[in-house]
Structure 1
Amino acid sequence: MQEIMKNIRKAEALKLKDELQYQEGQVVSKTLIQNEAVSITLFSFAKGEEISTHESGGDALVLCLDGEGLITIDGDPHVLRAGESIVMPARHPHAVFAKEPFKMLLVVAFVHS
Structure 2
Amino acid sequence: MTEPQAEQKTAADKKREELVSKVLAVNDLLQYQDGTVASRMIVFKKAGTITLFAFDAGEGLSEHSAPYDAILTVTDGEADVTIEGAPFTVRTGEMIILPANKPHGVQARQRFKMTLTMIRE
TM-score scaled by length of structure 1:
0.89
Any gaps of 5 or more consecutive residues in structure 1?
Answer: none
1:64 to 2:74 alignment: yes
Report % sequence identity. Answer: 39
Structure 1: 4+ residue segments shifted above 6 A = 2-5
Query: In the alignment, which residue of structure 1 is the partner of 2:101?
Result: 91
Q: What is the distance in 1 between the residues matched to 2:49 and 2:67?
A: 11
Cα drift, residue 73 of structure 1: 0.5
- RMSD (Å) for aligned C-alpha atoms: 2.0
Query: In the alignment, which residue of structure 1 is the partner of 2:33?
Result: 23
TM-score scaled by length of structure 2:
0.84
Name the count of aligned residue pairs. Answer: 111
Q: What is the distance in 1 between the residues matched to 2:107 and 2:18?
A: 25
- Which one has the bigger strand percentage? 1
- Which one has the bigger helix percentage? 2
Cα drift, residue 104 of structure 1: 0.1
Any gaps of 5 or more consecutive residues in structure 2?
Answer: 2-8
Query: In the alignment, which residue of structure 1 is the partner of 2:4?
Result: none
